[in-house]
Amino acid sequence: MSESITVDSRAFIRDLNRLSSRNHKKAIKKSLTEGAKVTVKEARRGLRMAVGKTAFKKSKKTGKSIASGIRYSAQKNTLDNGVKVHIMKDFRLKFYEKGTVDRHTKRGYDRGKIAKTNFFTNSLSRCEEQAFSKVQETFRNEVLRGNRR
């Protein structure tokens, strides 16, 4: 998913060239995190459709819901690494995404299986355009804001 952002505007490119490197990096990081927030929101919505209301119920043991395991992380040097949205903060999400096989005990008792839902993959494909447009919009606003300072 390495999409590039292209903006065809000479005034915008002129404003972008006027930014300092620090403000340039700040604008990139801010725009990427805003796009990641859109993706996380859509992934949580997809989890709710797949699992139901239990996705947002807090666990008595940990005090956190399953949906809180969908997170984004931004590295300090965003130009190299970017922003990552992942579901591995809570290991149980992996089972809802990929499913499990039928499980049985040694004595033969059936423990069932979790059906494959692909909630994360589906939500990524649903919100891709929305996230990219949010990245472009935020980047443009940050560049304009940086030049006003």
Ranking 11-15, 39-43, 70-74, 115-119 by mean pLDDT, the lowest is 11-15
Average pLDDT over residues 37-66: 91
> Residue 59: what pLDDT?
87
Res. 62 pLDDT band, cuts 50 70 90: confident
SS3 4: coil
Q: Please report the DSSP string for 105-117 in residue order.
A: -TT--EEE-PPP-
Q: Where are the alpha helices (DSSP H) in the chain?
A: 10-18, 21-51, 78-81, 92-98, 119-148
32 neighbors 78 (Cβ within 8 angstroms): yes
Q: What is the pTM of this model?
A: 0.78
Q: Which pLDDT score, from 0 to 100, does residue 145 have?
A: 80
Predicted local confidence at residue 79, as pLDDT: 60
- Per-residue pLDDT of 69-108, as tens digits, reads 999 988 776 566 678 888 888 888 999 999 999 999 999 9
The confidence score (pLDDT) of residue 80 equals: 62
User: How far is it, in rounded angstroms, from Cα 147 to Cα 17?
Assistant: 10
Please report the pLDDT score of residue 43 as a whole number: 93
Mean pLDDT of 48-72: 90
